[in-house]
Copies of this chain bind each other. A is one copy, B any other.
């Protein structure tokens, strides 16, 4: 389908970004680092102001603990479609800025160099929130006003794992009820494709530990005393075999088979094996080789079990003849829709017990379910087609069935029952969570324009 690029919207986006630039920059100046609980009340007040300045209503919800959740509401204009509601999810918290000495400019003083805007939290995800507000300002000034209802949900704990968000969404499900949701972030990839993400994997992250002695022991005693490193090595080996098959009973429970559309979407990913190998300096073959799963399918749809860390005994240079007293491992399981983190934990626990490793402790230190919007859902097409009006041929629009990262999108699906798509103003080198986080201003303008086009299209669609 050929879509005509709407250059007028892009002009309006540029203009509105300039008009609201000071508001945006002041937002970036707020050091809303959630893990340090910094400037949270100030940031909540500021977000409330921003929404009200854009013409919306605001509720600050703080009755369930944690940093407040902010509700914003922009009802459809009289000429709009009041039966349709689009929900934007954003967060007002950011990652810590350290290591500070790697920043070229102050992380909380927005700075433009080479048409690129640098600030902590700009790509993740303050620019996306601002782009959405700018889009609403453009629509508000237009003849037709708001083509549909628009709601916002902003939380302040996304960067610390959204520990309280589920409580708020469950209690306020009616308030946040909508027909579809645009996720907090998104970006172009390194080939300048504009990515619409339809889901994300979940995670169950475990600490494993086994202690077999009170002290490190001379290794001559290994002739009689058990070795915690060997125990943990054998236990892990029993969970995933040499062919990289996870053999824990129950681990795969609940996973639905892939649809034809799922496989097509994976095949459409701009995945270049040699480039990926070069990027990371991989020395071996992909572990998908010899299986009937392609690398792109595995990235999108395969659950994983990864040893992120293993430590035991003496690991310095030279020789130390020690029998370690304990051994620890960190295990990261990426989950797909249907898998439940708690069930995965229970399955691992049962597996360890069944294999004689009852003494190995297993602690789940992070848990988020996976979420994937069906690629058949018309909302995905709406987001894609509205994007094409802005991005044109230079930036092919590509649907990613599942992003690398994780987030609380499963909660939205669970309590609000709506399709979710992620788009944003980032690019491949935005450096979210890293020093010199940035967005390119051109991407910001395009993203504003996309939000205008999306809301317009969404408003005229039927439920």
Q: Which of A294-341 contact B (CB under 8 A)?
A: 295, 298-299, 302, 304, 306-315, 318-325, 327-328, 330, 332, 334
Find the residue from A282, A287, A314, A320 having the highest chain B CB count within 10 A.
A282
Quote the shortest CB–CB distance from A354 to chain B (angstroms). Answer: 13
- Given contacts A205-B319, A213-B280, A319-B365, whether A224 and B287 have CB atoms under 8 Å apart is yes
Q: Is B224 touching A286 in the complex (CB atoms < 8 A)?
A: yes
**Contact partner, A288, options B218, B224, B241, B322, Cβ 8 Å:** B224
- Given contacts A237-B233, A309-B312, A356-B242, whether A281 and B214 have CB atoms under 8 Å apart is yes
0/1 string, A206-234, CB within 8 A of B gives 1: 00000111110111111111110110011
Is A132 close to B, CB under 8 A?
A: no
Is A16 close to B, CB under 8 A?
A: no
Give the number of times this chain occurs in the complex, counting copies.
2
Is A99 close to B, CB under 8 A?
A: no
Q: Is A227 touching B307 in the complex (CB atoms < 8 A)?
A: yes
Please count how many residues in chain A sit with their CB below 8 Å of the partner chain's CB atoms.
74
Q: Is B366 touching A299 in the complex (CB atoms < 8 A)?
A: no
Show 7 residue pairs from A and B whose CB-CB distance is below 8 angstroms, ordered by the A residue.
Answer: A220-B405, A222-B304, A222-B334, A223-B288, A226-B287, A233-B233, A310-B313
Q: Which of A403-461 contact B (CB under 8 A)?
A: 404-405
Is A361 close to B, CB under 8 A?
A: no
Q: Which residue on B lies nearest to A329, using beta carbons?
A: B229
Inter-chain CA distance A217–B306, complex, in Å, is: 11
Q: Is A219 touching B334 in the complex (CB atoms < 8 A)?
A: yes
0/1 string, A108-127, CB within 8 A of B gives 1: 00000000000000000000
State the main secondary structure of chain A at its contact with B: mixed
Q: Is A299 touching B229 in the complex (CB atoms < 8 A)?
A: no
**Contact partner, A225, options B282, B308, B334, B404, Cβ 8 Å:** B282
Is A201 close to B, CB under 8 A?
A: yes
- Which chain B residues lie closer than 8 Å to A319 at the CB level? 205, 330, 365-366
Q: Is A330 touching B320 in the complex (CB atoms < 8 A)?
A: yes
Inter-chain CA distance A201–B223, complex, in Å, is: 11
- Which chain B residues lie closer than 8 Å to A298 at the CB level? 223-224
Q: Which residue on B lies nearest to A226, using beta carbons?
A: B284
Inter-chain CA distance A315–B240, complex, in Å, is: 20
Given contacts A225-B286, A238-B242, A321-B332, 16 further A-B contacts (CB under 8 A): A205-B321, A211-B283, A212-B283, A214-B281, A215-B280, A215-B281, A224-B299, A225-B280, A230-B240, A234-B241, A308-B323, A309-B315, A309-B322, A310-B313, A311-B312, A313-B330
Q: Which of A81-140 contact B (CB under 8 A)?
A: none
Find the residue from A242, A285, A327 having the highest chain B CB count within 10 A.
A242
Q: Which residue on B lies nearest to A205, using beta carbons?
A: B319
- Given contacts A223-B299, A282-B212, whether A313 and B309 have CB atoms under 8 Å apart is yes
